[in-house]
Structures are given as C-alpha cells and as structure tokens.
Amino acid sequence: MDRQIQKRKWPPKKIAWVSVSALFILAIAYNLIFGDHSSKLNVRAERLTVSTVYNGEFQEFIPVTGAVIPIKTNYLDAIEGGRVDTVFLEAGTTVEKGDRILKLGNTNLLLDIMYREAELVQQSNNLRNTRLTMAQRRLAVQGQILELDYQIKQQKRVFEQSSELKQKGLIAGQEYEEASDEYEYLVATRELTMEQYRQDSIYRETQIAQLEGSLARMESNLEVVRQNLDNLVLRAPISGQLTSLNAEVGESKGRGERLGQIDVLEGFKVRVPIDEHYIARVDMGLAGECTYNDSVYHLTIKKVYPEVLNGRFEVDMVFVDQSPPEIRRGQTLRIRLELGDLSQALLLASGGFYQKTGGRWVFVVDESGDMAVKRDIQLGRQNPLNYEVLSGLSAGERVITSSYDSFGEVEKLVLKK
C-alpha cells in the first residue's frame, strides 16, 4: 500500500530565494542609511596640479613694475606769459646754471612798466612839490612871526610909556586903552600864527609820510614788474640735461605753462605705481630687490605719494648700495617689494583654486591617491608663490591647487589614472 508523501512548507529553493531577497533588501537599506551620498565627479588626475603642504620660511611680497627717472628733476614753467621770440638751446643739451634757454616777448608788460614809471615820476614830483611848499610856508610864517615880534616890541614900548604917562595924568585914558588893546592884539596874533604854523606842519608832515609810503610801494611794484620783465628770459635754474623743451618761435605761452624740464643725471630713482589695496601697508623704508643683467640690486622706498589715481598710488624707490651701471631714464624694472620680515609658517603653493574658493576650502587628496575630499580651511598672508595656512591642513597633506571652475558643487573627486 502506497504512503502519501507530505509536501514540505519551506523547500530549500524557496529558503534560498527568500534569503537572497532578504540580503538584497538589507543591503539596500544599509546603503540608504549608512552609505556615502555625497556628490562625486570623475576627473583625470593628469589634468590636475597637486601641491604638498609644508613648513617653511614665509615672506609677504608683491611684484611691482617701476620706471627709472632721474634722482632730481627741475620743471621749467613760464613765470610770465608771452610770445616766444628766441630759442637759444634745444632739447637734449647739457646746460649750466644760469644759461639762457629761451626768450619771451610781452608788449603788455612793457606798456605796464612804462605806465608805472610815469606814475612813479608823477608821485615823486608831488612829493617834491609838497616839500617845497612846506619849506616856503615855513619861511613865510617865520617872516610873519619876525614881523609880529618887531611890532610887539615897538607896541610894548608904546604901552609902557603910555602907562607911565597915565599914572602922571599926562595923557587921556582913551589913548592908554588904545595902546593896551594894540599890544594885546599883536600878542594874540602871534600866538594864533604860531598855532597855525604848528597845525600846518603836522598836516604837511603827515602828507609827506603818506607820499613817501606811496612812492616806496610804487617803487616796489615797479621792481616786481621789472623782475617779471627779466623773467621773460628763461634761464637754467640748475646744471643738468635739458630733457624736454616745448616751445617754438612765434608760439604764445601763458603764465604758469610748463615749458620743459632739466634732469640731474648724477643718479636715478624708480617711480613705482602700486595697487591701492596696499596703501595702508606701504611706508617709507620698505625694502625691495630687482634683477638687472643677472645681478641683484636692492632698493628702499624713500617717498610715498598718498594721492590715489585710477586705483593706484605711487612711491619713489632709491638704490641702497649702487645702481645698475648702464641704466637709462625711462627703463622699466620688475621689483619684488617686501611687505614683511621672514617667518616660519605652514605653506600651500598658490594656484587657480583661490579664484573659486577665496581660500575658504580646498580638495584634499587622501592617502590612496584615488579620492579628493572637500575640506574647509583658513588662509592668512600670501605672496605670488605661497599662501600661509592658518587652520584646516597639516604638513605633508596633498591639495589640488589648480582651477576648480569645472568641478561645480561636488564634494568629492574621483581621480582616474
């Protein structure tokens, strides 16, 4: 008799299928919960620049370009305007102090001098006439006083005689009164004449003082105008080379117009424009160096011009020990301007990454060299070669320093060989 075989509820195939399905589901769940969901980008390693972070000496400097100019320049300006009559020297000529360079003509200035001279002569005549009148008046008053003194003397004698006769009763009282009144009148007249003489003398002296002051001012003004006439001849104020001369015969020049310049060729300095970003950090005494004909020359800032034009300000740098022997005016020099002293720091090579990140983060290559991970960092000082690392990196770590423009917003880079 056959026995009925019971069908198994969990055959091996079913168990295997369920187990595989469960493992697959667990794997998916684990990946969803614990897996790496950061964005990634595959890049070719040979297209990247990787730099190693290291400890070294750091010095902050900026590269600048300056133009060689003479150590001293004297500009020639027209003190008085006029028409160019004669040009005695040409640009490029070596001049000595006092040499005539050009002559200007100014008809209005000549007429002004003639008018002032005529005024001066008239004022001088007024002063002379006033003094003559005063002298004549003094003589006339002295003559009047002399005449009054004579009359007073005679009348006094008459008065005294009348007084004696009146006491003796020999003359009438009216005759005595007439003699007395005449005597008192002459004395009072003399006092009035003296007072008029004193007042007239004070007035005349004041008038003479005013005329003399006016005459002195006119002479001073005339002297200034005559100096302006002398200034129509432009002379070299110093010895040197007449570098430029902007004047042609017949050309009109205004007062204060720049006519040329004289350069002293005993030495040279370098005029350097610098970005206004560094204006607070640049001061006199900062050092720099340049290379000329394979030789290194040291310079220092002697003068800072604080005016900012087109985003730049200028400084004058002079050579410390010696200047290049064959240097010429107008040449340009590339200078490494030092903004600080040497110091030990953690350094990262400069690169295109800074334009994208601003120095706030970088991609750090892991030990395997197959992956680069985004990491926040902090950078400090910088120069054209290196950045100073303040935090976020350690010596020996490798950082991608080439441009990040093609990476987008990914957080990891997969480096393909």
SS (H, E, C) 9-20: CCCHHHHHHHHH
Alpha carbon distances (Å) from 369 to 45, 48, 363, 375 = 9, 12, 12, 16
Query: What is the rounded distance in angstroms from the CA atom of residue 363 to the CA atom of residue 361?
Result: 7
pLDDT at 126: 79
Query: What is the rounded distance in angstroms from the CA atom of residue 99 to the CA atom of residue 87?
Result: 12
pTM, whole model, 2 decimals? 0.52
Per-residue pLDDT for the chain (417 aa), expressed as one digit of tens each?
455 555 555 566 666 666 666 666 666 655 555 545 457 788 888 888 999 999 998 888 888 999 998 888 888 888 888 888 888 888 888 888 889 888 888 777 777 777 777 777 887 887 788 778 877 888 888 888 888 888 888 888 887 888 877 777 777 778 878 888 888 888 888 888 888 888 888 887 887 788 778 778 877 777 776 777 777 888 888 888 888 888 888 888 888 888 888 888 778 899 999 999 888 889 999 999 998 888 899 999 999 998 999 999 999 999 988 888 888 888 899 999 988 777 889 999 999 999 889 889 999 999 888 889 999 999 988 888 889 999 999 999 999 999 998 888 888 888 887
Reading the block at residue 82, the tokens are 């006029």
| E-only strand ranges, 40-107 | 40-44, 50-52, 54-58, 61-77, 82-87, 94-95, 100-105
Q: What angle do CA 380, 382, 387 make, to 5 degrees?
A: 75
Query: What is the rounded distance in angstroms from the CA atom of residue 396 to the CA atom of residue 263?
Result: 56
| In the block, residue with structure tokens 């002559």 | 103
pLDDT at 410: 87
